[in-house]
């Protein structure tokens, strides 16, 4: 129980006990005693209403403080979540960029290898074509030489 709650309870109990003691110990007539009781009752009602008002105001102030703290905490958590989301986004963008560069390097490497192999295949095809054409050229020369000899007039001796 808070200090103000204990104070209110103590004030109320003290007022009730004081009123009872005053009524019992006062040497007054019944009419005067009833008037005193009525007056004390009104005083107690007024004090109780005042105490209720104070407690109500304190509760409102406390509720406002708690509400403001909750708003500050919510703002703090929201900012922190935004920072973390930005950080995760940056990391993802970095990874995507890194993977793109790696893919470009791989494509370049594969392309160079394919070009080298294509060049080697071209060279081998040329060599094979030359090797295959060599006997045909030789045969063509021989045929040309024979044809030339055959067309030359022979000398008679």
118-141 pLDDT per residue, tens? 999 999 988 888 787 777 777 777
Higher pLDDT residue, 38 or 99? 99
Q: Mean pLDDT in the chain?
A: 85
Answer with the residue of higher pLDDT: 63 or 37.
Answer: 63
| Residue position matching structure tokens 């045969």 | 139
Name the pTM for this structure: 0.44
Do 51 and 11 meet the contact criterion of CB atoms below 8 Å apart?
A: yes
Share of the chain above pLDDT 90, in %: 43
Contact 37, 23 (CB under 8 A): yes
Angstrom distance (rounded) from CA 14 to CA 37: 15
Give the phi and the psi of residue 38 in degrees, each rounded to 5.
Answer: -65, -45
What is the tens place of the pLDDT at every residue in 70-107?
A: 999 999 999 999 999 999 999 999 999 999 999 999 99
Whether the CB-CB separation of 14 and 35 falls below 8 Å is answered with no
């Amino acid at each position: 129980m808070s200090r103000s709650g204990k104070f209110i309870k103590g004030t109320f109990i003290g007022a009730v006990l004081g009123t009872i003691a005053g009524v019992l110990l006062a040497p007054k007539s019944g009419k005067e005693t009833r008037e005193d009781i009525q007056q004390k009752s009104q005083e107690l009602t007024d004090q109780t209403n005042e105490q209720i008002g104070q407690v109500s105001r304190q509760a409102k102030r406390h509720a406002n403080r708690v509400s403001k703290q909750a708003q500050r905490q919510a703002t703090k958590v929201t900012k922190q979540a935004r920072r973390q989301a930005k950080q995760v986004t940056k990391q993802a963008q970095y990874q995507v960029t890194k993977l793109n560069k790696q893919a470009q390097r791989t494509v370049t490497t594969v392309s160079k290898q394919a070009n080298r192999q294509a060049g080697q295949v071209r060279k081998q095809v040329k060599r094979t074509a030359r090797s295959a054409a060599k006997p045909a050229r030789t045969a063509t020369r021989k045929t040309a030489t024979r044809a030339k000899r055959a067309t030359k007039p022979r000398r008679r001796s």
